[in-house]
Structure 1
Amino acid sequence: MEEDYIKLIFGLKLKQIRTDRNLSLFGLSKLSGLSKSYLNEIENGKKYPKPDKIAILSEKLDVPYDQMVSLKLDKNLAPIGDLLQSKVLKEIPLELFGIKERNLIDIVANAPAKVNAFISTIIEIAQNYNFSRESFYLASVRSFQEANNNYFEDLEQSVLKFAKAYQIDLNQIIASKDLEEILIEEYGYVIEKEELVKYKALGSLRSVFVPKSKTLLLTNEVDEAQRTFIYAKELAYNFLEIKERLFTFPWIKFDTFDQVLNNFYASYFAGALIIPTVQIKEQLNDIFKKETFDRSLFLKAIETFNASPESFYQRLTNILPQAFNIQNLFFLRFTHKANSDKFHLKKELHLSHQHSPHANETNEHYCRRWVSLKVLKDISKSKNEHEFDLQISDYEHDGMKYLIMSSATKDPFKENQYRSISVGLLINRQLQRKLNFLEDKTIVTQKVGVTCQRCAIKNCDVRQAPAVVLDEAAKNKKIERVVEELNSKFG
């Protein structure tokens, strides 16, 4: 690594952390005791602080030391890192256009969140192929979420304004009848609950909104939590005055990126209304401060709200980064059909960087030691409505360990189909400071891989396929060594 590159990456990281804390350079100077001019030179990539100065910044900003000095960039800065390391800036004569490399990097570094998300999307697409238009839009929104640590203060405030305007007590469980009344009385909705069930071809479609008559068609198969979420999304579209929207849940198709983005906004609003920030923070505090993991307390927290386990886990990805400064996390949703050996990863979100458990597009077998798959197998064999388990996943190949919490439920719209929702938290010093129960010996630690084809674990009794990718890599390495020996012998 060039020395200038290392300086620049540290400076970009420091600037991002400072701005995330809403600190000015003057404020950081007062907080850390380091001069404003010195901090400015660090952020501009002109100086690299000594270890004792980094330790001070780490302590005052509540960021792990290792995270600050690591050259691994999180999602917000990944586009800049890719630009710096790519050959593009070296091969294009930027000076012919009056552009200096440093200026270009500064433009990207200071770009609004949507611009950074767009750059991330382009890079992600470049690493994949056969991307549909829908996949492009969804990747864009996912990058936008990751660039903002999946927390949106303006939407959180809109929920509080809505609750005040319509006298909704956020300390009480939100019921669908309360939201239905607002839709009808305030926004002139007509709710029809018997029509959709007549059309078998609609499959798992839960709602259709007809804008001309303001008619919301609901299938009578939705439960109370699903109905409440659908109503909350409709209220979000109206209260936030969103015009460019989708009209079915789940979506069938979309025509513009704004429709996808606004669908996310409405879903976020609905989650924040049904699972208010103050209440979930209090419950998580109670869980985190215990010396052992209280399974019943965690399940009680899920059941406290009129929401599905998936909505609860989604809400964790909003609250943990913002309220607890736990930013290295991921979210996964798997589907599974009973008596099948296939598990499909349908949704994922990674905050800070791409974590080890992630989608694989080459039809490889996901590691059967993941708790996400275990709970799916458990519920497909039992008659329980909800299976929960947790584990510490140890990825030997990259030295990472994660605390994984996972819930499985039956898909109410598909026969013998199940889904699991998981949130994984990277175990580092930061997490150890926040979660007192991490040393709980009753939490099973499991050595895992990403896929069987890339896993080096020996004598695995649940292996679905040989480690062909690793074998091929080892074979190529051996060939390289022989070629080097030949070059040395005859060179």
Structure 2
Amino acid sequence: MEEEYIRLVFGLKLKQIRTDKNLSLFGLAKLTGLSKSYLNEIEKGKKYPKTDKIVILSEKLEVPYDHLVSLKLDKNLAPIGEILQSKILKEIPLELFGIKENNLIDIVANAPAKVNAFISTIIKISQNYNLTKESFFLASLRSYQEAHNNYFEDIENNAVAFAKAYHINLENPIKYKDLEDILIEEYGYTINKEELSKHQKLSELRNIFIPKNKTLLIYNNINEAQKTFIYAKEIAYNYLNIENRLYTFPWIKFESFDQVLNNFIASYFAGALIIPKDNITKKLTHLFSQQEWQPIQLHKIIKSFNCSDETFYQRLTNILPKFFNIKNLFFLRFTHKENSPIFKLTKELHITQQQAPHANRNNEHYCRRWVSLKTINNLEEVSEKKSAYGIQISSYENSKNEYLVLSAATSDPFKEKINRSVSLGMLLSPHLKKKLQFLKEDTFKKKTVGVTCESCNIQNCKERVAEPRVLNKELRNKEIEKAVENIIQSYS
């Protein structure tokens, strides 16, 4: 048993006994002859009293000595003990949000019954929705990104410093061969492009890193943009001296939050290197100043960098909030298996506002009117089509919010008959209209959208694939509530 746990349990029990007897810390100090500061440190789990001090506390509080030193907690404090023993507080990246563990324990200890109910609720929700440790870590990371508007100056500066140190011209597209040479010559990598392709069960992996001999197994069928991104991530791990890292891409599982955070840092570095902030900012400024919308101009900007559509759209979530003050935006990635009625939201990020949609675990059907889903459908309608693009203004039927949404869809090269789309949505506001000179009243098609069919109130919707059962239930409950109110008023 850890000493820390023993100290915390003793402190929690002492505080509960003191409050049950309506004693202040000052009163307990007067009663026992022990200093108030010393008792305060005991209650916070910072100190464990010696035997003679426990005897004094036992006698003055009229509590058996064995009860004080026992690690058994009563039903009010038992949940706190379970939390401490489960190490869940060690899993939560509290320091990332400026929270100290002891402060959280104090909150729990001050209202154990209420906090116990809250924690139990959270646990039950997570069980019902199959919330894994990885999902929890990723949710924590998203909160961290959103708290910083998804822009990290130190990583940006490191990418620029690396390029300068290795004479990489950020005005030109970065080639994977340049990064490959650095990995081999500077960091002693061996790159094997044959081994991974021999293992059919590993066909979904792009690469595996073997740390013992610095061997990078890389799938031989990936395109240049994917290869460049993988090499840029490997450089990040080495250049930034990151040791606690993942060894596969995409990841299989996370062992700790540090691995989640380090994976994000390496990916961010790769994006900042491949799509340099000064270069992309200059090109976007020119695009936004155009009086007429020309989609080919955006396409040319994307193609000017050696990157995928997903990498580009994700990079916009760094650049737009920082350099254009466009902060009310979201990024979504959907995946779809051909001929399946289910579209899965596999990645999401919301800056400043919690825009719909969010990951849906209720087996509800996302609105088919979204451009995110329409681009996938457009891709699947033409078998030889390699990509599809779309743009629309989404007007939510249950709110006043409207979003300008750009979307791109491609097939997944590693999963048969799986297609995916990435979308960037920007809240329509006076600021956005001022920034985007081409954004006029009739520039883009406007579509009224819902969130899921089950919760949508749009009438005569041709795209609907399920009845609005959730909405209907809400309406029935309101009717019942109104009827009850009328009955009560009639008898008043």
TM-score (norm 1): 0.75
Q: Counterpart in 2 of 1:142?
A: 142
Instruction: State the Cα deviation string for residues 288-315 of structure 1 (Å, max 9, x = none).
Output: 1122221000111111110000000000
Instruction: State the Cα deviation string for residues 294-337 of structure 1 (Å, max 9, x = none).
Output: 10001111111100000000000000000000000000000112
Give the match's secondary structure for 1:439.
coil
2:451 paired with 1:447: no
Letter in 2 for 1:346: T
Q: Counterpart in 2 of 1:129?
A: 126
Instruction: State the Cα deviation string for residues 413-466 of structure 1 (Å, max 9, x = none).
Output: 112211100000011122122111221524110000000111111000110111
2:240 paired with 1:240: yes
Instruction: State the Cα deviation string for residues 331-373 of structure 1 (Å, max 9, x = none).
Output: 0000112222221110100110210222222010100000000
CA pair 336-163 structure 1, distance change in 2 beyond 3 A: same
Q: Counterpart in 1 of 2:358?
A: 358
CA pair 395-96 structure 1, distance change in 2 beyond 3 A: farther
Q: Counterpart in 2 of 1:163?
A: 163
User: d(CA) in 2 for partners of 1:451 and 1:151?
Assistant: 31
Q: Counterpart in 2 of 1:289?
A: 289
Q: Counterpart in 1 of 2:417?
A: 416
Tell me, yes or no, if the aligned pair for 1:117 and 1:140 is still in contact at 8 Å: no
CA pair 205-117 structure 1, distance change in 2 beyond 3 A: farther
Letter in 2 for 1:489: S
Give the match's secondary structure for 2:487.
helix
Matches within 5 A, 1:25-424: 114-115=97-98, 128-130=125-127, 131-382=131-382, 383-424=384-425
Tell me, yes or no, if the aligned pair for 2:372 and 2:408 is still in contact at 8 Å: yes
Tell me, yes or no, if the aligned pair for 1:292 and 1:440 is still in contact at 8 Å: no
Tell me, yes or no, if the aligned pair for 2:333 and 2:346 is still in contact at 8 Å: yes
Q: Counterpart in 2 of 1:473?
A: 474
TM-score (norm 2): 0.75
User: d(CA) in 2 for partners of 1:357 and 1:117?
Assistant: 32
Aligned-pair RMSD on alpha carbons?
2.2
CA pair 112-284 structure 1, distance change in 2 beyond 3 A: farther
The CA deviation at 1:126 is: 7.2
User: d(CA) in 1 for partners of 2:260 and 2:299?
Assistant: 32
CA pair 447-486 structure 1, distance change in 2 beyond 3 A: same
User: d(CA) in 2 for partners of 1:405 and 1:96?
Assistant: 60
Letter in 2 for 1:453: E
In the comparison of the two structures, how many residue pairs are matched? Answer: 383
Tell me, yes or no, if the aligned pair for 1:117 and 1:147 is still in contact at 8 Å: no
Tell me, yes or no, if the aligned pair for 2:197 and 2:203 is still in contact at 8 Å: no
User: d(CA) in 2 for partners of 1:378 and 1:324?
Assistant: 31
Letter in 1 for 2:204: S
Give the match's secondary structure for 1:437.
coil
Instruction: State the Cα deviation string for residues 194-237 of structure 1 (Å, max 9, x = none).
Output: 00000001121110001110000001011100000000000000
Letter in 1 for 2:97: K
Letter in 1 for 2:310: E
Tell me, yes or no, if the aligned pair for 1:454 and 1:470 is still in contact at 8 Å: yes
Q: Counterpart in 2 of 1:462?
A: 463
The CA deviation at 1:141 is: 0.8
User: d(CA) in 2 for partners of 1:487 and 1:127?
Assistant: 36
Unaligned regions of 5+ residues in structure 2, if any? 1-22, 27-93, 105-117
User: d(CA) in 2 for partners of 1:434 and 1:358?
Assistant: 27
The CA deviation at 1:189 is: 0.5
State percent identity of aligned pairs: 53
CA pair 97-430 structure 1, distance change in 2 beyond 3 A: farther
Q: Which has the larger radius of gyration?
A: 2
Tell me, yes or no, if the aligned pair for 1:117 and 1:143 is still in contact at 8 Å: no
Give the match's secondary structure for 2:97.
helix
Give the match's secondary structure for 1:187.
coil
Q: Counterpart in 2 of 1:490?
A: 491
